[in-house]
Amino acid sequence: MNPPSEKLNHLRHTLAHLLAAAVLELHPDAKPTIGPAIDNGFYYDFEFGTPIAETDLKDIEKRMRRLLPSWKEMTGVPVTADEARTRFKDNPYKLELIEEITVKGEQITLYTASHFTDLCRGGHMENPAKEIPADSFKLSRIAGAYWRGDENNKQLTRIYGLAFETKEKLDEYVNMVKEAEKRDHRKIGKEMDIFEFDDDVGAGLPLWLPNGAAIVEELEQLARETEFKANYVRVRTPHLAKESMYLKSGHLPYYKETMFPPMEYEGGKYYLKAMNCPHHHKVFAARPKSYRDLPLRLAEYGTVYRHEKSGELFGLMRVRMLEMNDAHIYCTEEQFDQEFKAVNEMYLHYFKIFGLGKYVMRFSTHDPKRLGEKYVNEPKLWKKTEDMVRKVLIDSKIPYIEVPNEAAFYGPKIDVQVWSAIGREFTLATNQVDFSVPKKFDLTYTDSDGKLKTPLCIHRAPLGTHERFIGFLIEHYGGNFPLWLAPMQVEVIPVTDAHIPAAQKINETLRNMMIRSNTDSSNANFGKKIRNAKTNRIPYFIIIGDKDIAANKVTLESRDHGQIGQLDLDEVLKKFAEEIKERK
């Protein structure tokens, strides 16, 4: 995600203060806590004596606009800890913050605009009345939030606001949110019978219904074909492994919090697989390798399990079981540029298929100050591999942004950011370089000079996971999947019951071509059958009635383009076959 500009951050931060000022005028007993700028606006957390509701936001927003013209200046003044404690003597939350700042030895500052003063580090508009358009913000919702994010602390009320540079940009964002609500993958997924969650199965563990399984299989087939042409070989690995393997890989120290608790078995500990890479390293190590075997590209739609917190689960976007379009490429240093470039080109190939016109590679690097803590302590290798990745991105002319301190623990990574058809941003997939773990697994190959060397490893997952990618595609297409990907591709609709045998014969022909089709032989009238097919978002309907039988033809109708007309069945079948094969 492209970070907001400094000016926009300052605008949003200032509005958080304005929100607090408006709340205190309307609710003098409220205790403000903290209020930062966030990606699409701002929020402020309060302790209210009397709870407020969404209906109160309108009055608070009005008060913000009434106060804004008087905020002609916002200034910061350094104060002592005692002065700050006196100023906020009735607010335990501010007093706690003051103590933390004092212990760290940092300067305490109070910022004032008009009659409102708050504890803050700074970063505001100097003249809010002049610099903030009164129609560029709005309050959006309230939510519960624990103080400092700790569920053992008191629950506060968080008020969210949206803010942009102009009313036009605010309106654009609000409209996008409204459209996103219509396209919510949880809503459409239920309407289209794609997936389900069940309490007896467990939170975050999706059940793919037949329609969802059809989409999963199409995506996996796409990946199999694409990877086969790119000389990948497929492997299959277990869903669990012994503790020793994850200790060797380094995942347990770094990722223990996201792994399910171990199972005690036969005197040892086993963990559910949270990542595929250690298993693939073992596949590489199973047989000796020479430089002639490289690059070796091992692919698997591997199922992994992540111990996500209950409060962070969200439909298919955040789950505890994931089927990942994973692969690991083992190569020499000389082969790296071409292999990394080929992976990026595979991403572009997929973007074209799914109609993703806007994307950016988010290149995450390490923080040298956190070597040995968050990142493996190999400073020279960090610099070398980051330079290698940067060079490929520049040479390939792929749009990218560089983000510090977000690399994987074993090397730099790229997160692929894409925008859906309605302009909503998603993190879709990842591409990572690993210069550390192959060495831990003693992975070697014999080079042309007869010496044993350690390969580089590229981790890549262009289609991410089935769960997240299908959630994204549901929203991207609004449920109107293209023919090749649609759960039900064709509905055969008889005009009357007398035409059911002819419809069933057409349906049999379609099924023999491996086209997902169905005959609507229900008791509904013809008009209702057409409406049902449209409601179910089926790409094509074949209609068969007296006129069609007499002409030895069928009538074809499209979900997206309306009635196409009366055609020979062979012509229709050819059209379907081409559209599916080419994944139009």
- The full set of domains in the chain, from first to last, is 6-177 (3.30.980.10), 208-235+275-298+323-477 (3.30.930.10), 490-581 (3.40.50.800)
Quote the tokens at residue 369.
């100050």
Spatial contact of 195 and 59, defined as CB atoms under 8 Å apart: no
Residue type, 77: V
Going by pLDDT thresholds of 50, 70 and 90, the confidence category of residue 254 is: confident
Spatial contact of 161 and 58, defined as CB atoms under 8 Å apart: no
| pLDDT on residue 2 | 57
Residue type, 356: L
| pLDDT on residue 421 | 87
E strands present in 125-279: 137-146, 155-163, 195-196, 207-208, 233-234, 240-242, 263-265, 268-272
Torsion of CA 240, 241, 243, 246, to 10 degrees: -90
Q: How far apart are CA 82 and CA 469, in angstroms?
A: 53
Taking residues 482-508, what's their average pLDDT? 97
| 295 preceded by a cis bond (ω within 30 of 0) | yes
Residue type, 349: H
Residue 368 has pLDDT above 70, yes or no: yes
| pLDDT on residue 159 | 97
Torsion of CA 235, 240, 241, 247, to 10 degrees: 110
Q: At what angle do helices 6-26 and 57-67 cross, to 10 degrees?
A: 110
Residue 531 has pLDDT above 60, yes or no: yes
Classify 11 as helix, strand or coil: helix
The residue that leads in pLDDT, 469 or 255, is 469
Quote the tokens at residue 38.
């966030």
The residue that leads in pLDDT, 559 or 4, is 559
Going by pLDDT thresholds of 50, 70 and 90, the confidence category of residue 375 is: confident
Residues 122-163: pLDDT tens digits?
Answer: 899 999 999 999 999 999 999 999 999 888 899 999 999 999
Radius of gyration of the chain (CA): 29
DSSP 396: H
| pLDDT on residue 378 | 82
Taking residues 65-91, what's their average pLDDT? 95
Q: How far apart are CA 272 and CA 278, in angstroms?
A: 13
Spatial contact of 456 and 333, defined as CB atoms under 8 Å apart: yes
| pLDDT on residue 433 | 85
Taking residues 239-266, what's their average pLDDT? 90
Closest CA to 110 of 102, 119, 101, 98: 119
Q: At what angle do helices 569-581 and 500-512 cross, to 10 degrees?
A: 40
Q: Determine how β-strand 155-163 pairs with β-strand 116-119.
A: unpaired
| pLDDT on residue 193 | 96
Taking residues 313-324, what's their average pLDDT? 95
Residues 386-443: pLDDT tens digits?
Answer: 998 898 889 888 889 998 888 877 788 888 899 988 888 888 888 888 888 899 999 9
Q: How far apart are CA 44 and CA 26, in angstroms?
A: 15
Residue 256 has pLDDT above 90, yes or no: no
Taking residues 375-382, what's their average pLDDT? 82
Q: How far apart are CA 430 and CA 414, in angstroms?
A: 6
Closest CA to 69 of 126, 162, 132: 132
Taking residues 13-40, what's their average pLDDT? 95
Closest CA to 539 of 575, 501, 571, 494: 575
Q: How far apart are CA 44 and CA 18, in angstroms?
A: 10
Q: How many CB atoms lie within 10 A of CB 2?
A: 10
Quote the tokens at residue 333.
């240093």
Taking residues 173-182, what's their average pLDDT? 90
Q: How far apart are CA 126 and CA 247, in angstroms?
A: 52
Average pLDDT for the chain:
93
| pLDDT on residue 3 | 64
Taking residues 333-337, what's their average pLDDT? 91
| pLDDT on residue 376 | 77
Q: How far apart are CA 207 and CA 96, in angstroms?
A: 46
Residue 441 to residues 242, 276, 282, 408, Cα–Cα distance (Å):
15, 14, 8, 18
Q: How far apart are CA 302 and CA 434, in angstroms?
A: 19
Residue 46 has pLDDT above 90, yes or no: yes
| pLDDT on residue 536 | 94
Quote the tokens at residue 475.
């929203």
Residue 1 has pLDDT above 50, yes or no: no
Going by pLDDT thresholds of 50, 70 and 90, the confidence category of residue 102 is: very high
Lowest-pLDDT range of 185-189, 372-376, 385-389, 427-431: 372-376
Spatial contact of 536 and 490, defined as CB atoms under 8 Å apart: no
Q: How far apart are CA 578 and CA 570, in angstroms?
A: 12
pLDDT over 90, % of the chain:
78
Q: At what angle do helices 466-477 and 210-229 cross, to 10 degrees?
A: 110
